[in-house]
Structure 1
Amino acid sequence: MNKKCLMGVDVGTSETKGVLVDLSGAVIASASHPHELIIPRQGWAEHDPEVAWWGGLKSVIKDLLDGSGVSSDEIASFGCSTIAPCMVPMDEKGVALRNAVLYGIDTRATEEISELNSAIGEDEIFSRCGNSLSSQAVGPKILWLRKNEPQIYDKAHKIGTGSTYLVARLTGEWWIDHYTACNYVPCYDVASQGWAEDLCSSIVDIDKLPAIGWTSQIAGYVTEEAALETGLAVGTPVIVGATDAASEAVSVGVVEPGQMMLMYGSTLFMVQVTDSPVTDTRLWSAPFLFPGTYSLMAGMATTGVLTKWFRDNCALDLVDQESRDGVSAFSRLAEMASNVSPGAEGLIVLPYFSGERTPINDPGARGTVFGLTLSHGREHIYRAILEGVGHGVRHHVDLLEAIGAAPEEFRAVGGGTKNLPWLQMVSDICGIEQLVPPVTFGASYGDAFLAGLGIGLFADHGDIKSWIGDPLKIGNDLDLKPLYDLYHKVYLDLYRSTASLMHDLGVLSRKS
C-alpha cells in the first residue's frame, strides 16, 4: 500500500486534537475530543491518563480515519505531543498507576522544592540544570510521590511524562525527548544532555526514568495490541514526541536560531530557538527538538483568559447580542478598543490576575488597573488589558536583548491572532514585526511534520516552510514608540512599587 499520509495528535489541558495530512502538508482531516481537568484539592491538577490521554488518542484516531476514508495502511508515520512537563508512574505494560500530576498549575510539591534547594543548593541546581526549581519542575513532584505514595513509587516501572505514556502504550518502548526532560529539574544535566545520576539519587532511582532521545527519532513501532485498540496499522513508526508548545513552534516554522513563537492562547507562551545554550534565572531554557539547537522559553499567566474574564464580567450585553446576530463579542470589544487612542488615555493594566510566570516569577503578583478616572469606560479598560499584555511581551523582548539573545523574527499563533488590533498593539509597543501564518492547526500539525522528518521524508526541519504558506505581516508604527516607551516605564515601575502590597493582599485574602 502506498504510504501517503502523516498523522499527528496533541493532548492539551482540556482536549486532544489530531490532524491527518498528505506529504505536502495539506490537511485531509482534523478531529478533537474533550477531556476533564481533575482538581482533587486546592493546588493540585491532574489528568486520568487512561481516560483523558489514551481514550482521547483512540477517539481522535478513529475520527480521523472514519472522517477521511484513509486506510491506516496509508499512514507513513505517527507523532504525538502532550502538555508538559507532567509526572505519571507506569507499570511494565505502560498502564498508569495513578492520575498524572500536571505541569506548573499543580503546586503540591512546594515543600519538596524547598527541601531540594536546601540539600543541593539553588546555584548548583541552576548551574547544572539551566533552570531553577519551581512548580513547573518535575523532580520535586517525583520526590512528593516517593514520600507520600511510596507503594506506587515502588511499583512503578517507569516515571515519565505524557508522551512517554502514549509512546509506551503504542510501542512498548520508553522515551522522553530532551526538551521535555530538561523540565525534570534537577534530574537533567544540561552539559551532558542526560540524566544527572548524582542529583537524581535522593529523588528517583535512575532506572525508573525513560531513555532520552530527540523528538523526531523513531521510538518504536505500533504493536499488535495497540493496533487493535487504536486502529493504527501494526508496524507504523512512532517518533519520540515532544511537548505541545515545542510542536506548536514547529507548526508555524519556528525551527531556526533567532526565530521566536508568540503563542496567543489562554496564556501567552514564547519559544525562541538559539544556536547555543543561553540561561537566565528569569527565563526557562532547554535543548530544542533537533541536535545542535537550543531554546529559551517564557510564559505569561493570564492573557487570553483575561480577555474572556473581561467579556464575561463586563460585556454580557455583547454576548447576548452575539447570540442574536452572530457577531462575536470579542470582535466588538476589539473594535471598541481600536477607537481608543494608544495608551488608553492614561490607563495601565498589570495582567497578573493569576500571579505571573516569567520574567518576574511571582505567584503572589496581582492584577492591577491603574489610572482610572470618571472619563474612562469599558473600552478604555479593555484596550489597557490588551496593551498590558503587549507590555508583558515587551518586558521579555527587552530582557532577551539585554542578555544578548534578541530574537530576529517573531511568528504569532493561537486563537488570539484573530484579534488583529491586539497584534497591532503588541507590535507597536514592542517595536517588532509579527508574522502570522495563513492557516494553523496547532501542535498536532507540527507533530505530523516531525513524524515525516523522523522517517526521512524531508531533507531537514526547514522544509516545514513549504507547508505553511506566506504569512500575514503585522508591522509597527514607529511614531508611537516614544509614547509607548513612557507607558512601558510606568508599567515596570508600577509592579516594583506595589509588589509588596500585592503580597500583603494575598495574605489578607487567605485570612478572610
Structure 2
Amino acid sequence: MDYIIGMDIGTTSTKGVLYDTSANVIAQSNQEYPLYRDAFGMAEEDQEEILNAVIYVLKKLITNIDFTEDNLRAVSFSSANQSLIALDKNHAPLTRVITWGDTRSAKYAQKIKDSVEGQALYEKTGTPIHPMSLLCKLAWLKNEHPDIYQKAQYYCGIKEYIFYRLFGIWQMDVSIASCTGLYNIFEMNWNKPSLKLAGITANQLPPVVDAYAQFSGMRPEYAQLIGCPQKTIFVQGAFDGALSNLGVGAFNTGIAAVTIGTSGAVRVVTDHPVIDPKSRIFCYAVDKKHFVVGGPVNNGGVVFRWARDNLFDAEKSTADLLHKNSYNLLTEIAEKVPAGSDGLLFHPFLGGERAPIWDANARGSFFGLTQMHTRAHMIRAVLEGIVYNLYTVLLALEEVVGQPKTIMATGGFARSPLWRQMLADIFERPVTIPKDFESSCLGAAIIAMKSVGLIDDLSATKKFAGKTVTYSPNSDNYPVYRELISIYIRLTRQLTTEYTNIAEFQRKYATQNKTTK
C-alpha cells in the first residue's frame, strides 16, 4: 500500500495523520507542548519541545508502515504562521519561538499603522499591521532587545527551524513568507520597504520556495530515531489556515471555511491577490498561483478553556472524577439557556484581537449582566461571543469577495452539536461539517499528492473531504441573534478608546507588580 503523511505544527500541539492515497485515515498521533506567558503580552514556545513533538508524532505514524511491502510516498507539513526565531551565525536560536499570539510589539505596530507608509505596506504584503506580523516583532526586538537584534544573523519561523534541524536545508514556503508582512504578494519577493523598516536584509531570511518543493535526506541520527528511510520525499507545504481550506474542499470564492481551534478564522480561496481598502482582512498565498483571503481571530477555543478553568472549576473537577469530557459538560449546561443568553453579551477579546478590528488593546467583557443571569448564561454567552466575532469577520469578507454560497466549518469546536447549530443560527445560513476534523493535516497531504503526481491540481480537494453533515438555521433563534449582533458591533466600536486606556493601565500595573515582586 502507498501512504501519505500530513503533519500540522500547531500552536499548542503537533498533529499527524497517516493516509492512504485515497485520503482514508490509517493512523493519527498528537503531542502537546506548553505556551509560555511569563510576561505581559508574551506568547512563546520552546523550539526544542516542538522538535521533539514532531519527532514523536512522525515516529508513531511510521510504525504503522511495513517498508518491506509498503511505500511512504511523501510527508508534507502545515504549520502555524507568523512565528519568529532569531538565530546567530551558526543558526543557533537566540530566542524562543515568538508566536502569532505575542502582543509585546503592540506599541510599534501602532506606530507603523499610523505612519504614512502603513497602508502602503498592507497593500503590498496583504498582511494587516498588527503585533502578529514579523515586521512588527522585528521592530520590537530592535528597540526592546538590541543585544539580541545585533547578534542575530538570520530569522525564520518554526517550520523553517524544524526543517533546518532535521535536514540541514534553509528555505521558507511562499505561503509562510506571505504572512510575515515582509513579502510582496504581487511581485512574489521580499518587500524592500518592509525590510528597510525592519532593519534587515533579504539575506537574513530563508530563500522562498513553492508549497510543492521536495527534499529528502534526513540527517542520519534523526532518520534512525524516527525509523524513516532517507530516500523518503518531504514536501514543503503551507501555513495551517490555507491548508485547512484545502482539507474541507473550500477552494473557490463560493465556499467559505470557518475554523475554530485555539484561535479561529474565516477564509476563502481566490486565484489572485485581494486587498481590502479598509484593511480588515488578510491576503496570503496558498502556493504561487492561489491565495487565501480572510480574517483570523485570536479568541477561539482558548476562550472556552479560560471560562472552563476560571468560571467552572468545580464542574471541571467533577468531570475529571467521572472521566467525562469537561467541555461536553459545559455545553450541556449552556444548552439549558435560550439563544441570546437572555440579553447577556460577551466580547471574547481576552488576547487582544486581530480581524476585523486589528486591535491588540481590545479586552474581553460581559455586557448586560442582571440578577437573573447565572453561570449557565455566562458560559452560553462566551460560546455565542466567539461566534459573533467570527460573523463580523464574515461580514467584512463579503464586502471584498462577495457572499459565499456555502459555509464549511472545521476545528475542535465542530465536534459539538451546540456550536454547530449556534454557527448556523448566527450566520443565518446552512453550515456543513466534514467528517475529518484535522483539515490542516489533510490539506498538507493534498499538497503532497500534487507534488508527487497523485493528483493533477488542487480542484481534486472536494473528493477528499469525505462525508459531511449540514446544520440549517433555526427560525426561532436567528431573529434573536440578528438583533443582538447589532448591539455587539456597536458596543465594540464604542469601547475602542477605552480598550486603549485599560490596556495602558494593565501594562503599568503589570510592570509595577513585577518590580515589587
Normalising by structure 1, what TM-score?
0.89
Deviation at 1:479, TM superposition (A): 5.0
Which residue, out of 11, 14, 25, partners 2:12?
14
Q: Shift of residue 79 of structure 1?
A: 1.0
1:478 positional shift: 4.0
**Structure 1, unpaired ranges of 5+:** none
Q: 1:200 aligns with which of 195, 205, 209?
A: 195
Q: Tell me, yes or no, if the aligned pair for 2:271 and 2:291 is still in contact at 8 Å.
A: yes
**Match of residue 406, structure 1, among 403, 407, 418:** 403
- Match for residue 362 of structure 2? 365
> Of 463, 468, 475, which aligns to 2:465?
468
**Does the C-alpha gap of structure 1 residues 440 and 343 become closer, same or farther in structure 2, counting only changes over 3 Å?**
closer
3-state DSSP of counterpart to 2:341? coil
Q: Aligned residue for 2:394? A: 397
* Partner of residue 100, structure 2: 104
Q: Among residues 174, 199, 204, which one is paired with 2:170 in the alignment?
A: 174
Amino acid at match of 2:128: S
Q: In structure 1, what is the equivalent of residue 302 of structure 2?
A: 305
What is the match of residue 184 of structure 1?
A: 180
Query: 1:118-157 to 2 correspondence within 5 Å?
Result: 121-145=117-141, 148=145, 156=153
Mapped partners of 1:311, 1:263: distance in 2 = 20
Q: 1:384 to 1:112 in 2, by over 3 A?
A: closer
Residue 144 of structure 1 deviates from its aligned partner by: 4.9
**Deviation for aligned residue 1:445:** 3.0
Distance 1:39 1:320 in 2: 24
Q: Are 2:203 and 1:210 aligned?
A: no
Distance 2:358 2:196 in 1: 28
CA distance in 2 between partners of 1:96 and 1:241 (Å) = 24
Residue 264 of structure 1 aligns with an amino acid whose one-letter code is: I
The 5-angstrom pairing of residues 328-407 of structure 1 reads 328-407=325-404
Give the direction of change, closer, same or farther, for the CA distance of 1:106–1:428 in structure 2 (3 Å limit). same
2:441 to 421, 441, 444: 444
- In 2: Cα distance, 1:165 partner to 1:74 partner: 27
Name the SS of the counterpart of 1:273 in structure 2: strand
Write the distance in 2 (CA, Å) between the matches of 1:472 and 1:178. Answer: 33
2:23 to 7, 22, 25: 25
> How many angstroms apart in 1 are the aligned matches of 2:203 and 2:164?
16
Is 1:296 matched with 2:293?
A: yes
Per-residue deviation at 1:90? 4.5
Alignment of 1:19-58 (within 5 A): 19-39=17-37, 41-49=39-47, 51-58=48-55
Q: Which residue of 2 aligns with 1:251?
A: 247
CA distance in 1, matches of 2:139, 2:231: 36
User: Cα deviation per residue 1:235-269 (whole Å; 9 max; x = unaligned)?
Assistant: 32222222223223322223333322211222222
**Match for 2:191: what amino acid?**
A
What's the offset of the Cα at 1:454?
A: 0.9
Q: Contact (CA 8 Å) 1:400, 1:407: kept in 2 or not?
A: no
Question: What is the deviation of 1:378?
Answer: 2.2
Residues 504 and 200 of structure 1: is their aligned pair in 2 closer, same or farther, counting only changes over 3 Å? closer
Deviation at 1:272, TM superposition (A): 1.9
Contact 2:195–2:202 (8 Å) recurs in 1:
yes
Residue 68 to residue 456, structure 1, CA distance change in 2 (3 Å): closer
**Structure 2 counterpart of 1:296, one-letter code:** V
Cα distance in 2, alignment partners of residues 153 and 12 from structure 1? 29
Aligned-pair CA distance for 1:179: 2.2
Contact kept in structure 1, 2:215 and 2:235, CA below 8 Å: yes
Q: Deviations over 1:311-351 (max 9, x none)?
A: 33333443344234444343333233333322222222222
Structure 2 unpaired stretches of 5+: 510-517
Give the residue type in structure 2 aligned to 1:288: A
Report the more deviating stretch, 434-443 or 223-232. 223-232
Counterparts of 2:165 and 2:389, CA distance in 1: 40
Aligned to 1:62: 59
Determine the C-alpha separation between the residues in 2 that align with 1:79 and 1:489: 43
Q: Name the counterpart of 1:488.
A: 485
SS of match in other structure, 1:240? strand
Two-structure CA RMSD over aligned residues (Å)? 2.9
1:260 matches 2:272: no
SS in 2 for 1:254: coil
Q: Deviations over 1:1-57 (max 9, x none)?
A: xx71112222222222222221111222222223333445433333332x1233222
Mark the CA change 1:491 to 1:208 in structure 2 (over 3 Å): closer, same or farther. Answer: same
Equivalent residues of 1:264, 1:416 under 8 A apart: yes
Shift of residue 416 of structure 1?
A: 0.9
User: Structure 1 residues 431, 117: closer, same or farther in 2, change over 3 A?
Assistant: closer
Cα pair distance change 1:237/1:257, threshold 3 Å: farther
Aligned length: 506
Per mean C-alpha deviation after superposition, the further-off stretch among 138-147 and 79-88 is: 138-147
CA distance in 2, matches of 1:347, 1:447: 40
Deviations 1:399-425 (A, max 9, x none): 222334333322111111122112212
Secondary structure in 2 aligned to 1:126?
helix
Cα distance between partner residues in 1 of 2:184 and 2:307? 43
Q: Structure 1 residues 217-226 or 60-69, which shifts more?
A: 217-226
The answer on whether the counterparts of 2:19 and 2:27 sit within 8 Å (CA) in structure 1 is yes
Which has the higher mean CA deviation after the structures are superposed, 491-500 or 37-46? 37-46
Contact 2:108 / 2:136 at 8 angstroms: preserved in 1? Answer: yes
Range 425-434 or range 67-76, more displaced: 67-76
Deviation at 1:473, TM superposition (A): 0.4
Taking the aligned partners of 1:91 and 1:5, their CA distance within structure 2 comes to: 38
* Aligned mates of 1:144, 1:504 — CA distance in 2: 21
Instruction: Judge conservation of contact 1:223–1:235 (CA < 8 Å) in 2.
Output: no
Distance 1:107 1:366 in 2: 13
Q: Closer, same or farther in 2 for the Cα pair 1:480/1:15, shift >3 Å?
A: closer
State the AA in 2 paired with 1:6: I
SS of residue matched to 1:403: helix
Q: 1:313 to 1:460 in 2, by over 3 A?
A: same
Shift of 1:181: 0.9
Q: Deviations over 1:204-247 (max 9, x none)?
A: 22122222222123255545565345432123222222222322
Evaluate the alpha carbon distance shift between residue 122 and residue 201 of structure 1 in structure 2; reply closer, same or farther with a 3 A threshold: closer
Instruction: Report the Cα offset of residue 117 of structure 1.
Output: 5.7
Aligned equivalents of 1:510 and 1:57: distance in 2? 35
Over the matched positions of the two proteins, sequence identity in percent amounts to: 25
Pick which of 477-486 and 144-153 moved more.
Answer: 144-153
